[in-house]
Amino acid sequence: MLWLRPGVRHHYAPHAPGWTEWFVDFTGSAVATYTELGFLGDGRPVTPLTTSEPAARAIGRIVQACRRGSPYLEVETSAVVHEVLVALRHARVGEGPDGVLETLARDACLPIPVAEHARRLGLPLAELRRRVRRLTGCSPKDYVLTVRLNQAKDLLAGTDLPVAAVARRVGYDDPAYFTRLFTRRTGMPPGEFRAQRFG
């Protein structure tokens, strides 16, 4: 899905082989609300989708309404634009329940706060917290921490990287902080964890 936002210069060459192209142009007071709720993309110009079928069907209904010349054209098409935005939201890669966790796990070692994870997923922070708690029983911060520490365990057990390098690989620039965190969560410091695995 391509987002062509107002005021941003762009060039697009249509009629690429194998493409079916649909365009929906909309404006109005609801745009700000849909943006705030994360329905209008995640700030990137291209959003990967798992499927385009539900949105394409809805856009087809807009086309039919326009061809009929209905006296209620603006009301009908406005309602379907809302449906298109919801369909696109559900079709985003990483939007399904498993996709949220998969995306968080993939990006867990990036040095970004949970709010940035939410922004990248196109979710309000409160919605991300609700979903992750429903799926895992913990907060997004704890889920990310668990992923980081599991990766650290794999690196400690499977490589001879120094602890400081392991810390950096899993998102911690301060090896002393990483060691304290690892010790608190696992019950032993990283060096001892490695020794037990190799012992």
Choose one of 93, 109, 125: the last residue of a domain. Answer: 93
The string of pLDDT tens digits covering residues 41-59 is 556 667 777 777 888 888 8
**71 and 120 belong to one structural domain:** no
The verdict on 9 and 82 lying in the same domain is: yes
Q: What is the pLDDT of residues 148-174, one digit of tens each?
A: 999 999 899 888 899 999 999 999 999
**Chain center to CA of 120:** 5
Domain shared by 72 and 100, yes or no: no
So what's the pLDDT on residue 138? 87
Residues 60 and 48 in one domain: yes
- Could you tell me which residues are beta bridge partners of residue 46? 2
Co-location of 20 and 79 in the same domain: yes
Residues 6+ positions from 9 with CB-CB distance below 8 Å:
none
pTM for the structure as a whole: 0.54
Q: Within this chain, do residues 67 and 27 fall inside the same structural domain, yes or no?
A: yes
Reported as a single tens digit per residue, the pLDDT across 64-96 is: 888 888 788 888 888 888 888 888 877 765 555
Query: Which residue, 62, 93, 124, sits at the end of a domain?
Result: 93
Shared domain check, 5 and 87:
yes
Range of weakest confidence among 31-35, 95-99, 112-116, 133-137: 95-99
C-alpha span between 25 and 43 (Å, rounded): 18
The CATH number of whichever domain residue 100 belongs to comes to: 1.10.10.60
Domain co-membership, 34 together with 80: yes
Is the same domain home to 141 and 189?
A: yes
> Which residue range forms the structural domain that includes residue 108?
96-199
Q: For the residues 9-20, what does the mean pLDDT come to?
A: 65
Burial of 106 (0-12, 13-18, 19+ CB in 10 A): exposed
**Does residue 103 share a domain with residue 187?**
yes
Check: CB of residue 112 under 8 Å from CB of residue 79: no
CA angle, 8 then 103 then 142, to 5°: 120
Assess whether 83 and 153 both reside in one domain. Answer: no
Other Cβ atoms less than 10 A from the Cβ of 140: the count is: 26
Q: For the chain, how many structural domains are there in total? A: 2
- Please tell me whether residues 78 and 112 are part of one structural domain: no
pLDDT computed for residue 53 by the predictor? 81
Among residues 34, 65, 93, the one where a domain terminates is 93
